[in-house]
Copies of this chain bind each other. A is one copy, B any other.
Amino acid sequence: MEPDPALFEENERTAPKEDQRMYFDAGALDLERGGHLPSVTVAYETWGEFDPVRSNAIVICHALSGDSHAIGWWDRLIGPGKAIDTDRYFVIGTNALGGCQGTTGPASLAPDGRRYGSRFPFITVGDMVEVQMRLIANLGIERLLAVAGGSMGGMMALEWTLRLPGLVEKAWITASGRAHNAMQIGYNEAARQAVLRDPKWRSGDYPEDEPPAEGLAVARMIGHLSYLSESSFERKFGRRRQTEIRADADPEQFQVEGYLAHQGDKFAHRFDAGSLIVLSRAIDAYERQSLAGSLSEYLFTSFTSDTLYPSHQSETLHALALAAGCRSEWHDIDLPYGHDAFLLDGDVQGERVRAFLAAGR
């Protein structure tokens, strides 16, 4: 497929409007690795309407830096008339447990009125899904039409199909895998070390107005190195200098340098360092050897230029789904945008997702 020049541009993740968010009190939570949270709040948003028997609900799971505002960061896929059609489906976006956009995470206040910080326990992808399941039950939904997610969100979607088989009819999992390989863990670890080695990290107990912003910015730069492909870097920046944008820039500075600094600083402003640590550890720890027992139908998509979640990881998921006796399809999409393609591509993914959701209805 011919790449769309506009899609080499950053998909600016729009900040959710506070007033769209709803909050659900999920109660106390015993965690898979042994920790305990006395109270969990889930921030969520919904779009569309239930059908008469509430059989048209779709849960959207976000990637590491995402939030409940799925219609924002996945605006190419979710909305009226789009692949995940809010005129047909009841779509639910939630902020993941451990996040920092309204759901309980390290920056949230513990019952003692102080931030959790270093006291926030080790959480798993299973814990994140458990909290979403409570929300779904509270919304009166007995069975989901689908779960969908990319990257970390793909692991959450996968976990949805395995924890309580039968609860989810279909799962669309994009640019994800059954477990991180050593390189994926390595990227996450370098990002974590950038935060942990910032003196302002203070073992995780930094005040709200003095976060480890420099370390967090570097962590995000490391992330961006893994999200783009060689060709998307080249197309966006090449060897162009900052002086082409600002005449007073350092004549030796390249545009890619300004881009990384901008992305890093913007992220440090909107995201919590503790959430980065907790969420990245959860996905590094995630591992499924088999999909045995699943009663769901799967759609896997991957991108040939994605070096962070390489296509063979989706191929493996597809093989595991078939081995488990599930219906499954896998499409390896030839687009040059790197890992970011799962956010940027509405067309190719969209066509597959639209057909996948409509089949049998």
Bitwise, A295-325 to B at CB < 8 A (1) or not (0) is: 0000000000001001000000000000000
Determine if B234 and A183 form an interchain contact, defined as CB atoms under 8 angstroms apart.
yes
CB distance from A187 to the nearest CB of B (A): 6
- Which residues of the other chain, B, contact A136 by a CB distance below 8 angstroms? none
Contact of A189 among B182, B238, B260 (CB under 8 A): B260
Q: Is A193 an interface residue (CB 8 A)?
A: yes
Q: Is A4 an interface residue (CB 8 A)?
A: no
- Which residues of the other chain, B, contact A222 by a CB distance below 8 angstroms? 190, 222, 225
CB distance from A282 to the nearest CB of B (A): 10
CB distance from A294 to the nearest CB of B (A): 22
Bitwise, A159-184 to B at CB < 8 A (1) or not (0) is: 00000000000000000000111110
Q: Is A228 an interface residue (CB 8 A)?
A: yes
- Which residues of the other chain, B, contact A226 by a CB distance below 8 angstroms? 225
CB distance from A254 to the nearest CB of B (A): 5
Main SS class of interface, A = helix
Q: Is A264 an interface residue (CB 8 A)?
A: yes
- Which residues of the other chain, B, contact A194 by a CB distance below 8 angstroms? 194, 218
Contact of A199 among B190, B193, B199, B233 (CB under 8 A): B199
Chain B residue with Cβ nearest A214: B197
- Which residues of the other chain, B, contact A199 by a CB distance below 8 angstroms? 199, 214
Contact of A228 among B183, B189, B214, B252 (CB under 8 A): B183
Q: How far is A254 from B185 in the complex, measured between Cα atoms in Å?
A: 8
Bitwise, A214-246 to B at CB < 8 A (1) or not (0) is: 110110011011101010011011110000000
Chain B residue with Cβ nearest A193: B218
Determine if A233 and B182 form an interchain contact, defined as CB atoms under 8 angstroms apart.
yes
Residue from A187, A190, A198, A252 having most chain B Cβ neighbours under 10 A: A190
Q: How far is A96 from B221 in the complex, measured between Cα atoms in Å?
A: 28
Known contacts: A122-B252, A239-B179, A307-B307. The answer to whether A218 contacts B233 by CB under 8 A is no
Q: Is A3 an interface residue (CB 8 A)?
A: no
Determine if B252 and A181 form an interchain contact, defined as CB atoms under 8 angstroms apart.
no
Q: Is A287 an interface residue (CB 8 A)?
A: yes
Determine if A181 and B218 form an interchain contact, defined as CB atoms under 8 angstroms apart.
no
